Amino acid sequence: MTKARMEVHFSHPRLSRILTADVSPECTAQEAIEGLLEGDDVGPFIEPSPPHRPYELVIKRTQQIINPEMTFQEAGVLDGDVIEVRQAGQGARI
């Protein structure tokens, strides 16, 4: 049985702030990025990126990039994982 929510921590190489969020395992990487653009009580976690350099999510534990349409469950994200938000173009996709 899958847990209804899991806690993940979003980081960015150029930000000192880490955003902790409860997310659904069915949340896709694209939905997560859209949520990070909207932000929380403090404001947006990231700024809009140029179309040629979209953001990507990387599971820090494994250094695997989550494809935009993949859910966190499909990507193997675990409760408590740190997910780095960075500009696309580095590393191999899973």
What is the chain's length? 94
Q: Structural domains in the chain?
A: 6-40+48-87 (3.10.20.270)
What pairing do the DSSP bridges indicate for beta strands 64-66 and 55-59? antiparallel
Instruction: For residues 12 and 1, give the distance between their C-alpha atoms in angstroms, rounded to a whole number.
Output: 31
Plot region of 25 (φ>0 → left; ψ -120 to 50 → alpha; else → beta): alpha
pLDDT in tens, 21-70: 999 999 999 999 999 999 888 889 999 988 888 999 999 999 999 999 99
Q: Check residue 3 and give its pLDDT.
A: 57
Contact 21, 27 (CB under 8 A): no
Provide the residue type at 55 as one letter. Answer: Y
